[in-house]
Chain A
Amino acid sequence: MTRSASATTTTAASLLPDAQPLSSTTLNDAMSGLYVVLSQSRQNAIVSSDQRVEENQTLREKAIADAKTAIQRQIEAQKSGGFWHDLENGAMWVAKVALAVVAVAATVVTAGAASPVLIAVALAFTAGGMIVSETKCFGDKASQWIGLGMEIVGAVLSCGAGLTTAGATAGSQLLATTGNIATVAGTSAAVVGGAAHIEGAAIAADSQRAAADIEQSTQQIERLNRLVAWVIDSAKEGDKSTQRSQESLRNAMATNDETATMAVPMTTMKG
């Protein structure tokens, strides 16, 4: 029986304060014993609250460290993202210019002949128009119109060059070569631009993930702050309650003592 009873004894931590050896005072006065237990309980509650606050503090520090890491990651992503964005813009600009060059060269070659000077001017106008449109160097509205005008002039000149008969063979060959080079350059630039776009997007996505991590850490910190506030509130409330109980007990003990003190002379008188 004893073995069986000891086998079923629970080993879970007790919520009650640690058992204290009963002193003669405790044995003689139940209210004093109760007072001691209340004090012990109060002390235990404070220690328990301290531990919970410390645990939350550790978690909070970890969350702050995570947030800092995520912020650092985001800053680095923004820095390198800028490079890939610039590369993409540059490559796509080169690709557009190359496309324009190919278009002019094709127009002139199919028309049959061209003056190299006229072709160069046509190309300069076309490319210049694109640059003005892209860079908006004359302001938003003006650049749009100036760029469009230059491109139209370039197109007209390239058609004019196509109608020119002088130096037909040499011009056609030069244009065909220029067109081929522009095609290769444009294709390469487009590939580089596309790859830079993907790489930039990967970095932007990482930046967004870092933003999500920052948000998560912030929420966790706020949650832990709330929990700590609740633990402190609860500890204060419990402490206040225990203090009230102790005060009530003190009053009861005082009353008890007073009554006993008064009862003694009365007993003596009666005796």
Chain B
Amino acid sequence: MPAASIAPSPTIGRFPELAIGGDLNAELAALAVASGEDQRIECQHERDALESSQEREENQEISAMRKKADDAFAQSVCEGVGTIASAGGSSGFWGACGTAAAGTAKIVGAGYAGAGGTDDANAAQHRAAATNFGRISSDMQQAMNAASEFVNAATDFYRQSAATEAATRSAALHRA
């Protein structure tokens, strides 16, 4: 697996005129601008991907919350049916049927109660993941801003350099 290069992207390839221009300051500024721009774009892509992941996790959290509501309702239906069934009596055939139905409802209700607990855990897990993605996304946004600042600094450097050169030329002209 090839090692990642520390050097910036082939700037000269992108600015071929710099190779023959001979302006060292311009070349340096262009390298810095290209590197900063690459970093900014990379951070932006990363941030967008993280934002999508965060959105996905948040949607899954909401789904888990809704499933929890459904499971809680199903559990309560089982409990209610169990109560009604057990009211049928405690002796005789119908009493036995009622007791059996109440017991079955209790077992099924317990299953839904367990599912509700799992839903809670899932929602919490997705919430935590979404928060995590959000934090990294925010970091990426800051890195993007830093990259933009770097590009601006490089541009400022070149502008000052060009201004100094122009002033020098002007002074030379005055002397001439």
- A202 to B: closest C-beta gap in Å: 6
B133 to chain A, nearest CB (A): 12
A186: contacting residue among B87, B155, B170, CB under 8 A:
B87
Tell me the A156-213 residues at the B interface (CB within 8 Å): 183, 186-187, 189-191, 193-195, 197-198, 200-202, 204-206, 208-209, 211-212
What interface size band does chain A fall in? Answer: 35 or more
Does A51 sit at the interface, judged by CB under 8 A? no
**Complex Cα distance A82/B25, Å?**
76
Q: Which of A224-245 contact B (CB under 8 A)?
A: 226, 230, 233, 237, 240-241, 244-245
List the B side residues contacting A216 at CB < 8 Å.
58-59, 62
Residues of chain A within 8 A of B106, CB atoms compared: none
> Smallest distance from the beta carbon of A198 to chain B beta carbons, Å?
4
If over half of B's interface residues share one DSSP class (helix, strand or loop), that class is named, otherwise mixed; here it is helix
Interface contact A215-B62, CB-CB below 8 Å: yes
Q: How far is the CB of B140 from chain A (nearest CB, A)?
A: 11
Q: Which residues of B sit under 8 angstroms from A255, Cβ to Cβ?
A: 166, 170
In the complex, whether A95 has a CB less than 8 A from a CB of chain B is yes
Q: Are A230 and B141 in contact (CB under 8 A)?
A: yes
Report Cα–Cα, A262/B174, bound state, in Å: 8
Q: Taking beta carbons and an 8 Å cutoff, which residues of A are in contact with B?
A: 92, 95, 183, 186-187, 189-191, 193-195, 197-198, 200-202, 204-206, 208-209, 211-212, 215-216, 219, 223, 226, 230, 233, 237, 240-241, 244-245, 247-248, 251-252, 255, 258-259, 262-263, 266
Chain A to chain B contacts (Cβ below 8 Å), 27 pairs: A95-B87, A190-B87, A193-B83, A194-B84, A195-B84, A197-B79, A201-B76, A204-B73, A205-B69, A205-B72, A205-B76, A208-B68, A212-B62, A212-B65, A212-B66, A215-B65, A216-B62, A230-B141, A237-B145, A237-B148, A241-B152, A248-B155, A251-B166, A252-B162, A259-B169, A263-B173, A266-B173
